[in-house]
């Protein structure tokens, strides 16, 4: 039996998975078996065996879910809400929602970083599909202050404020218009699994507020937020659910792109989540330069595991720089100016060592341990509510 390789045992040469393109750079948790297959590939195999449905079962489950959504929305203007960013996943989700006969209210969180192309894509998509669009615009000075707080804190997941706001806005919008389903573009095919060392819990409002209190200067007034108790209330009492609908549909990224380009006039951004200028700068420059993380490895590995790309094609993609030199120069100037940072101050932030999110107050430390006890306590109430709804 081979010995697993890991960076935790001391400095080693870089090891790369023989099946995907994940390696032990910036990921202390990765493990390799005797065949040099990484722990993420084995995790995917387990996920596929236990949670990814066969085509027939996925189709059947999709019909059941769509039927439930349509029945719950009978007599209402909308039967669900759907978050859209203008990227491939959410655009294809909107297209399929129309094809399946759903009537979503489409919502978008505008954090001030949309590219002009993203704005045009979103408007074009909703117009062609005949969907109403609700855009929540966060007050820029407030969001800028929060962004700066995360940069100064030197934590890795600077995208938490945006991701938290999108999830919170979905549930808050569903509650406001009286529907029970929030459709998301999350999917196993292009996003799973992701190293835990690269991201933080998106709904950890305690952590977000703690970072803002330590390094920010403004109160959060216009940012959609959802704490543990309020979120539990919406899920248990209002029975609002997030539905990752793409997991129940045949989803091939290249085919999806071709479809939305042809049917919706969608235009490509050139990278995953690059519809946001800040996300492009974060993933293409901040992550690899400050944290040694190239997120392309995880995204490309997902495509390899699901048969959408060969390992050779992924390695060829990784051999290219994550940023074109001129675009990097343009984006850096734009981002620093928009955040109000000088080159010297930004470089100082980039030199600061990484600080773990759990160095700040966090639900993981203080609240999640009470999750089971809370739900055990309110389960009898949930049963009564379900019986009442069934009548």
Could you report the per-residue pLDDT of 214-228, keeping only the tens digit for each?
A: 999 999 999 999 998
Contact at 8 Å (CB) between 181 and 170?
no
Compute the Cα dihedral for 28, 32, 36, 37 and give only its sign.
negative
Tell me, rounded to whole angstroms, the distance of Cα 42 from its chain centroid.
Answer: 22
Query: Taking the model in full, what pTM does it have?
Result: 0.88
Measured CA to CA, the distance from residue 123 to residue 100 in angstroms comes to 21
Predicted pLDDT of residue 25: 84
Q: If you write DSSP's letter for every residue of 20-61 in order, what string do you get?
A: SS-BSTT-TT--B-TT--BHHHHHHHHHHHHTSPPHHHHHHH
* Both structure tokens of 196: 């835990």
Contact at 8 Å (CB) between 344 and 350?
no
Which one-letter DSSP state was computed for residue 282? Answer: I
Find the domain containing 143 and state its range: 54-292+324-359
Average pLDDT over residues 70-74: 96
Measured CA to CA, the distance from residue 67 to residue 60 in angstroms comes to 11
Tell me, rounded to whole angstroms, the distance of Cα 144 from its chain centroid.
Answer: 20
268 band by pLDDT with thresholds 50, 70 and 90: confident
Please tell me the least confidently modeled range out of 89-103, 284-298, 368-382. 368-382
Predicted pLDDT of residue 18: 96
Average pLDDT over residues 31-59: 90
6 band by pLDDT with thresholds 50, 70 and 90: very low
Predicted pLDDT of residue 3: 36
Q: Which CATH number covers residue 345? A: 3.40.50.620
Mean pLDDT of the chain: 89
The reply to whether 18 falls in a domain is no
The reply to whether 371 falls in a domain is no
332 preceded by cis ω (within 30°)? no
Predicted pLDDT of residue 379: 55
The reply to whether 8 falls in a domain is no
The reply to whether 366 falls in a domain is no
The reply to whether 340 falls in a domain is yes
Q: List helix spans (H) across the chain.
A: 39-50, 55-72, 88-99, 116-129, 140-153, 160-177, 188-191, 205-215, 228-236, 253-264, 277-281, 296-305, 311-318, 325-339, 343-351, 363-366, 371-390
State what percent of residues in the chain have pLDDT above 90.
74
Contact at 8 Å (CB) between 245 and 93?
yes
The reply to whether 139 falls in a domain is yes
Count of the separate structural domains present in the chain: 1
User: What residues are paired with 182 via a beta bridge?
Assistant: 81, 242
């Amino acid at each position: 039996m081979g010995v697993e390789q890991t960076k935790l045992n001391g400095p080693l040469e870089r090891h790369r998975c023989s099946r995907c393109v994940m390696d032990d750079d910036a990921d202390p948790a990765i493990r390799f078996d005797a065949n040099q297959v990484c722990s993420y590939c084995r995790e995917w195999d387990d996920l596929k065996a236990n949670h990814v449905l066969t085509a027939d079962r996925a189709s059947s489950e999709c019909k059941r879910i769509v039927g439930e959504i349509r029945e719950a929305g009978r007599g209402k203007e909308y039967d669900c809400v759907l978050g859209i960013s203008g990227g491939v996943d959410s655009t294809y989700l909107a297209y399929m929602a129309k094809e399946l006969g759903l009537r979503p209210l489409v919502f978008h969180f505008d954090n001030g970083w949309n590219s002009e192309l993203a704005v045009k894509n979103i408007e074009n998509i909703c117009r062609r599909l005949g969907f109403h669009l609700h855009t929540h615009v966060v007050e820029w000075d407030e969001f800028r202050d929060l962004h700066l707080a995360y940069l100064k804190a030197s934590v890795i997941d600077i995208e938490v404020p945006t991701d938290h706001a999108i999830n919170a806005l979905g549930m808050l919008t569903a509650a406001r218009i009286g529907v029970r389903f929030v459709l998301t573009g999350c999917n196993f095919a292009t996003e799973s699994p992701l190293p835990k060392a690269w991201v933080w819990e998106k709904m950890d409002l305690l952590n977000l507020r703690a970072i803002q209190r330590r390094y920010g200067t403004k109160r959060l007034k216009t940012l959609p937020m959802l704490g543990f108790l309020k979120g539990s209330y919406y899920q248990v009492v209002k029975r609002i659910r997030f539905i990752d609908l793409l997991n129940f549909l045949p989803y091939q990224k290249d085919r999806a792109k071709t479809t939305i380009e042809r049917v919706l006039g969608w235009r490509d951004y050139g990278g995953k989540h690059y519809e946001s200028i800040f996300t492009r700068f974060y993933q293409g420059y901040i992550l690899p330069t400050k944290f040694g993380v190239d997120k392309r490895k995880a995204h490309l590995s997902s495509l390899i595991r699901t048969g959408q790309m060969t390992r050779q094609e992924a390695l060829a993609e990784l051999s290219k720089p994550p940023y074109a030199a001129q675009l990097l120069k343009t984006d850096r100037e734009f981002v620093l100016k928009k955040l109000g940072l000088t080159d010297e101050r930004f470089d100082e932030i980039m030199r600061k060592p990484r600080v773990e999110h759990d160095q700040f107050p966090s639900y993981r430390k203080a609240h999640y341990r009470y999750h089971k006890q809370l739900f055990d306590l309110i389960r009898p109430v949930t049963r009564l509510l379900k019986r009442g709804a069934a009548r």
